[in-house]
Structure 1
Amino acid sequence: MPLVRIDLARGKTEHYRQTVGDVVYEAMIATLNVPADDRFQIIAEHSPIDFIVDQNYLGIKRTDDVIVIQVTLNAGRSVDLKRAFYKAVADGLHQRLDLRREDVFINLVETAKENWSFGNGEAQYA
């Protein structure tokens, strides 16, 4: 049950935001073995003063169109699966929205299964 937070600069269309969510979800299914119907996403827009991303860190030239994607998920996926996910998201956003691959920032946060409650005040995976 990944929980996805997608943060971007204010001013993108509803279609743009929906497509970003679709690309991330499709990439999770294709590369991270996430089951269908396991979609939990929070997409938030920010003003420039509240959305600070270094435009040159590690020699990667980012623009104001940068998107920050953070996925919290169960621990245990291999580095190869993670790399495939990063590539699938960057390629998908480039193909479908013409977003530069340099403007796709992804962070995975791994957690133990007992750290989830899907409702009812229960730890369903514990």
Structure 2
Amino acid sequence: MMVQVKIYGLRDRLFPKIQSMSDTVHACLMETLNVPPDKRFHRFMTLEPETFLYPDDRTENYTILEISMFEGRTVETKKRLIRLLFERFQSDFDIAPLDLEITLLETPKANWGVRGMLGDEL
């Protein structure tokens, strides 16, 4: 069930939206992955323009989501999550799909350490 999220973006664009963006991401995770409401593990990486380089066809809204999770979800479930994130970032934050990149990183449970235990022993 474990899911952790890193969100990268320009500080002046990301910082004012941290709480609302966290709410949107978590709503998407609850809807598609059945993540419990009280299990929110989000980290925001707010970057200065000189430390966040991106292609010329992106705007200052360019945002990267990295979602680490236990392996085992179906391809269709992962696709639903990605599509929902694109949709909600567009509607909630006016971040176009071109300015949003999403990476899902799946890890075997045995590779996680959580609450002093290995993930496969939880």
TM-score range, shorter chain: 0.7 to 0.9
Q: Are 2:68 and 1:72 equivalent residues in the alignment?
A: yes
Letter in 2 for 1:97: F
Superimposed CA distance per residue, residues 64-112 of structure 1 (whole angstroms, 9 cap, x where no aligned partner): 2111000000111112111111111111111111221221110011001
Counterpart in the other structure of 1:42: 43
Specify whether residues 91 and 11 from structure 1 end up closer, same or farther in structure 2 by C-alpha distance, changes over 3 A only: same
Whole-angstrom distance in 1 between the partners of 2:14 and 2:52: 18
Whole-angstrom distance in 2 between the partners of 1:9 and 1:99: 13
Whole-angstrom distance in 1 between the partners of 2:66 and 2:119: 23
Counterpart in the other structure of 2:18: 17
Q: 2:117 aligned to 98, 113, 122, which one? A: 122
Counterpart in the other structure of 1:6: 7
RMSD: 1.7
Give the TM-score normalised by structure 2.
0.87
Unaligned runs of 5+ in 2: none
Counterpart in the other structure of 1:58: none
Give the TM-score normalised by structure 1.
0.84
Residues 3 and 41 in structure 2, CA contact (< 8 A), matched pair in contact too: yes
Whole-angstrom distance in 2 between the partners of 1:110 and 1:3: 11
Aligned-residue identity in percent: 28
Higher helix share: 2
Whole-angstrom distance in 2 between the partners of 1:92 and 1:83: 14
Specify whether residues 112 and 41 from structure 1 end up closer, same or farther in structure 2 by C-alpha distance, changes over 3 A only: same
Whole-angstrom distance in 2 between the partners of 1:116 and 1:68: 23
Shift of 1:124: 4.8
Shift of 1:114: 1.7
Whole-angstrom distance in 1 between the partners of 2:84 and 2:39: 18
Unaligned runs of 5+ in 1: 56-60
Shift of 1:15: 4.4
